[in-house]
Structure 1
Amino acid sequence: MATIQRVAELAGVSTATVSRALAGKDTVSAATRLKVEEAARSLGYVASATASSLASGRTRNVGIVMPYLGSWYYASVLKGAHRALADAGYDLTLYHLEDTDRHPERRRRLFSEFLGRKRVDAFIAVSLELTDEELDRIHDLGKPMVGLGGPLRGVTTLSLDDRAVADLATSHLTSLGHRRIAFIGGSEGFDLDFHLPARRRQGYEDALTAAGIDLDPALRLEGDFTIEGGHQAALQILGDPRRRPTAIFAASDEMAIGTILAARSLGLRVPEDLSVVGIDGHELGPFFGLTTVDQRPTEQGRLAAELLLNELRPQGPHEHTARELPYDLTVRRSTAVAPGHHD
């Protein structure tokens, strides 16, 4: 069986140097670390995580706290974060906070007990608007944290400007001559932090106002960010010829996909009879020819993890910054010039 002593002999260094090199300590030169890693690999030696954490005070484990698991967006963020952490030699522990409105005790225990156990070195909070008490608890633990989704006091955060993203998606439709544009979003009671549904509705209204189009409450529907919800909302408005729009902006790609399926079931052609645009950059978007504003969630997860890893370094940054996430309009075949419109 491979031992740390055999790795040390093969690399020509002490066992203490092997331990420091495999723990990622900055006191070991890059050349020595490479030599140790090659020796360990050739012998099939894997350092004990328990021993390593006792020696360094680090678990090499990062906690990710999420409100949902079922949606494609959160799965993509998790994938991106996991890749970056695994490449850096870190494990990942997932904390799930679904349905805490009905079970507030779960959330209270997470912040009062679970995060206090010395199982993780740092945290990433995804789409969670933390209370002052919860933030104080995190800061008291003295562990680095990165927030993804909105501003958090005393924490490095990454945010998407949801109002600007929705404005861009809707402006794409007005630029094609559409005047009767419906919006499918989330209900006021839909539990998303940082007021995402409201901000995307505001962006939609901003674009209509800028184009000189009157706001029509009858063209606002609720789909709650699922394919099924988008499908039902689209059937509701497309099935009534008196108020049928020429375009629909759905506040998520999953609702936009549901809209396309509803249009097909009613015999409407996309984009000849109806243009559809979404937000996300969903992996099924190309299959449906969906025009979308791509927010690159896998990249968001990777970036959050890399910022956190930077904070975990001994000389990591002490100033916490708020950074805006990039986004791009990706035009595909689900949008076209409005019927009867001429430049």
Structure 2
Amino acid sequence: MVVRNLSVETTFTLLGFTDHPELQVPLFLVFLLVYIITVVGNLGMIMIIKINPKFHTPMYFFLSHLSFVDFCYSSIITPKLLENLVLADKSIFYSSCMLQYFLSCTAVVSESFLLAVMAYDRFVAICNPLLYTVVMSQRLCALLVAGSYIWGMFGPLVLLCYALRLSFSGFNVINHFFCEYTALIAVSSSDIHLPHLLLFGFATFNEVSTLLIILTSYVFIVVTVLKIRSASGRRKAFSTCASHLTAITIFHGTILSLYCVPNSKNSRQTVKVASVFYTVNNPMLKFLIYSLRNKVVKEAVWKLVDKKVLFH
């Protein structure tokens, strides 16, 4: 049974990213710049894909949803991180903390399955180009995206139900910069063995299933590309997958090290640094990867900028 006074909502204190005062202002400026680039970049990517008929294809449809998830994820985590770097009051209400956990976890899980869906899309485009438009129909694309979001909510909801049953009493200090699940349940006075097992099982299932889809897709892609006779054709085929593979490596590498290693010996500060990488930096990096490495996207951006300049 949860022990808390219903008339006065329980609050938590987030210790934040660092306890060194001299680093707080520089980190605030760095994270603020990263957040601005993330918001402008990902919303800009969504707008470009929406208004340009050239991008009305399954690949860019999935990319627009990936940009949306990155925007949401960054906006769930970063504002509170910035606030705690400059304000003395680092408290967060129980309900706000649980909501932040649920939304951030939903975004992470949805993103992992969207990346798997994008790998399958590349597999169909390269291995079955003549059937691409038939296989990747609008209906299938919508179902794949909807499935990613639905599963993204299901697992975190189960974990949330267990977290809501935990008892919190006394001075609840969360040694993190956001309401990350392991840091959140660590301050509970209840037995947290089962929630830890559920998190490990859920994270492992998500990683194994999505990486299996990704690896299988890319095995077939590599086999198909190696059959292409011209070197330029092989380079072009591989270049279409380079951005996606880079995003996968950054995202899954961090998740695997944090949540899929039982009894991890990582220090809390190491966990914070890794968490910053995939919660704050990763959404910006994926935008930069997909935009800077994509000639078509860069051309669309410059055309849009030129139109705005001429209009003014």
Please state which band the TM-score falls in when normalised by the shorter chain.
under 0.3
- Bigger strand share: 1
Greater RCO, CA 8 A, separation 6+? 2
TM-score, normalising length: structure 1: 0.24
TM-score, normalising length: structure 2: 0.25
Q: Larger Rg: 1 or 2?
A: 1
- Bigger helix share: 2
